[in-house]
Every structure is written in structure tokens, then in C-alpha cells.
């Protein structure tokens, strides 16, 4: 794991905390400098498909 995400930080800026969390967890990758274009890694894609199916 690249680093730890602080739990207290979510109350200050949820959006920034969430993006940092999913990138640190290896769910999503930001390969391209295009706003809003995030790459879902294999486990992240499986999670998203399960959420959509639910």
C-alpha cells in the first residue's frame, strides 16, 4: 500500500478524502491528466459492476 489515509480527514473535505482513499486502495488510477477521466483497476471495476447490479 502506498500510504495510509487518515480517517479524520473525511469530515474536512469528503471529495478529496474519497479520491485519495480509492487511489490508495488500488481501486482507481489517474493515468491521464483529463478531469473526470479515472481508470478503474480490475478490483475497482468489479466493485462498480456489483454496485450497479445491486
In a domain, 22, yes or no: no
What is the predicted pLDDT for the residue at 30? 81
How many CB atoms lie under 10 A from the CB of residue 30? Answer: 11
What is the predicted pLDDT for the residue at 1? 45
In a domain, 20, yes or no: no
Domain count, the chain: 1
DSSP string of 10-51, one letter each residue: GGT-HHHHHHHHHHHTTSEE--S--TT--EEPHHHHHHHHHH
In a domain, 44, yes or no: yes
29, 38 Cβ separation under 8 angstroms: yes
In a domain, 48, yes or no: yes
In a domain, 1, yes or no: no
Residue 2 binned pLDDT confidence (cut-offs 50, 70, 90)? low
Q: How far apart are CA 24 and CA 36, in angstroms?
A: 18
Convert the pLDDT of each residue in 4-53 to its tens digit: 666 666 778 888 888 888 888 889 888 888 887 888 888 888 988 998 99
**Residue 52, domain extent:** 29-54
In a domain, 51, yes or no: yes
Amino acid at each position: 500500500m502506498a500510504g495510509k489515509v487518515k480517517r479524520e480527514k473525511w469530515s474536512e473535505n469528503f471529495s478529496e478524502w474519497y479520491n485519495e482513499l480509492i487511489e490508495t486502495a488500488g481501486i482507481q488510477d489517474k493515468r491521464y491528466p483529463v478531469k473526470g477521466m479515472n481508470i478503474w483497476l480490475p478490483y475497482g471495476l468489479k466493485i462498480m459492476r456489483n454496485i450497479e447490479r445491486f
